[in-house]
Amino acid sequence: MDLRTDYPFWLLDKGILGTYPSLEKDIATEVAIVGAGISGALIAWQLCKAGIRCVMVDRRHVGMGSTAATTGLLQYETDVPLVELSAKVGDKNAADSYLLCSKAIDELGMLSKKFHHAEFARRPSFQYASFKKDVSALKKEYTLRKALGLQLDWLDREDVKSLYGFHKEAGLLSKQGAEVNAYGLTHGILAACRKMGMEVYDHTNIETIRHQRNRVQLITTDQHRIHARKVIIACGYESGAWLPKRVDTLFTTYAIISEPVPEKMGWHQRSLIWETARPYLYLRSAGNHRIIIGGKDDDFSSAHKREEALPRKVKELEKAFSRLFPHIPFKTDFRWAGLFAGTKDGLPYIGQLPQRKHLYFALGFGGNGIVFSQIAATLLRDQLTGKKNRYADIFRFDR
């Protein structure tokens, strides 16, 4: 599957941070992790710290799939607002989901301190009402989140103008948010996991998974075998190959990053900014005084259509930014497009397939997939070490 267009910024900025061999022999391990992106890396960290022997494989170079294309926003808000999520999954599960996401940002912050290339930074998250009709729903959202103890403020029209310089009727300013270089964090984690004994093989494609009574056998395209007690599939949108039916819907999203702009960007504390409209526009600052803008999503996954649409989407994203910040000069330096997926309730799928007791999945689909991946890492660690986790049912496949 073609997950992205060429040359996302993170790859060009950081280059090749680590090299890994392809698998050239048969091996055995306790846990095999399929997918060497940010999801697989976070899971590997938790398992290695728990003393579980792991092997990781990926058909690409490490971090070269969706991880190299993510814009790296970390938010506790899912793509489905808390009000709507409560109606879909119940008040308690919805509340727990938002609180788990908030906790996951803190955990990612602590982990990122170990790795220079993670470039983790705390940022507020500002969501504005795209239209007047959105204000009422946004107010309900504010009330529900405050009741959970989440730290956020209601901004009226004058507040928005004062802090951000543009005219919107209202918005929510959440204290809890962050940004990260997922590509850099992935390489940092895997280098540390290798020191703890994990084997990592890239350019190693898993052709077949054979389920046996007490183990699983993975067979590569080159006919090498990995014998594992458990297997975790963490290869994002390509995980559907191992599922009996699709659990997600694929979309295309677009992103651009500016040339360096004047140091004073003109918005409050370099917030993450997004909106209530669907699909939503989102933006953040980046290193060297750059700005990242994303959105203008399409409901297709075709690589050809994605390439064809990209030049037009770049112009649309530039215009959207100029409407908000006409005083900030924006010239696109890098542009890319990639796949993302949504689920019926905006939540990830984490855990075992009911019919495959040795096969686990970490499917962090949605706009905050990195946060979901951190949740998956802790849940799967608990499941593989025999520890009961009271949140596991929220993300099960048969929910």
What percent of the chain has a predicted confidence (pLDDT) above 90?
Answer: 80
Segment 265-272 shows an average pLDDT of 90
- CA–CA separation, 212 vs 200, rounded Å? 24
Q: How far apart are CA 283 and CA 323, in angstroms?
A: 13
Whether the per-residue pLDDT at 224 is higher than 50: the answer is yes
Weakest mean pLDDT among 44-58, 101-115, 240-254, 361-375: 240-254
Q: With the C-alpha atoms ordered 189, 193, 198, 201, is the resulting torsion angle positive or negative?
A: positive
Q: Check whether 387 has a pLDDT greater than 90.
A: yes
Average pLDDT of every residue of the chain: 93
pTM over 0.85: yes
Q: What's the burial of 158, exposed, middle or buried (CB within 10 Å: 0-12/13-18/19+)?
A: exposed
pLDDT at 64 over 90: no
Identify which has the larger pLDDT, 199 or 327.
199
pLDDT of residue 5: 47
Report residue 78: phi and psi, to 5°. -85, 175
Arithmetic mean of pLDDT, 75-100: 97
Burial label, 51 (beta-carbon count in 10 A; 0-12, 13-18, 19+): exposed
pLDDT of the residue at 209? 96
Q: Does the pLDDT value for residue 105 go beyond 50?
A: yes
- Decide: 105 and 113 in contact? Cβ < 8 Å: no
175-184: average pLDDT? 96
Contacts of 152 (CB under 8 A, 6+ apart): 142, 145, 146, 172, 173, 174, 175
- The pLDDT confidence band at residue 259, using thresholds 50, 70 and 90, is very high
Q: Name residue 173's beta-bridge partners.
A: 126, 153
Please, which pLDDT band fits residue 3 given cuts at 50, 70 and 90? very low
- Please, which pLDDT band fits residue 216 given cuts at 50, 70 and 90? very high
Q: Which of 347, 362, 293, 360 is nearest to 323 (CA)?
A: 293
- What pLDDT does 193 receive? 98
- The lowest-confidence range among 86-95, 121-130, 275-284, 352-361 is 352-361
The average pLDDT across 13-39 equals 90
Which of 91-100, 129-138, 185-194, 252-261 bottoms out in mean pLDDT, i.e. has the lowest? 252-261
Confidence of residue 15 (pLDDT cuts 50, 70, 90): low
pLDDT band at 7; cut points 50, 70, 90? low
More confident position, 244 or 318: 318
User: Comparing 50-54, 69-73, 113-117, 387-391, which segment has the lowest mean pLDDT?
Assistant: 69-73
Assess whether pLDDT exceeds 90 at residue 101.
Answer: yes
Q: With helix as H, strand as E and coil as C, how does the chain read?
A: CCCECCCCHHHHHHCCCCCCCCCCCCEEEEEEEECCCHHHHHHHHHHHHCCCCEEEECCCCCCCCHHHCCCCEEECCCCCCHHHHHHHHCHHHHHHHHHHHHHHHHHHHHHHCCCHHHCCEECCEEEECCCHHHHHHHHHHHHHHHHCCCCEEEEEHHHHHHHHCCCCCEEEEECCEEECCHHHHHHHHHHHHHHCCCEEECCCCEEEEEECCCCEEEEECCCCEEEEEEEEECCHHHHHHHCCCCCCEEEEEEEEEECCCCCCCCCHHHCEEEECCCCCCEEEEEHHHEEEEEEEEECCCCHHHHHHHHHHHHHHHHHHHHHHCCCCCCCEEEEEEEEEEECCCCCCEEEEECCEEEEEEEECCCCCHHHHHHHHHHHHHHHHCCCCCCCHHHHCCCC
Residue 394 corresponds to which tokens in the numbers above? 């929220």
Span 65-76, pLDDT tens digits: 888 888 899 999
Q: How high is the pLDDT of residue 1?
A: 52
- In angstroms, the CA 224 to CA 233 distance is 18
Residues of the chain with CATH 3.50.50.60: 9-69+183-247+346-395
Report phi then psi at 193, rounded to 5: -65, -35
Superfamily covering domain 9-69+183-247+346-395: FAD/NAD(P)-binding domain (3.50.50.60)
Q: Is the pLDDT of residue 13 over 70?
A: no
Q: How far apart are CA 336 and CA 309, in angstroms?
A: 11
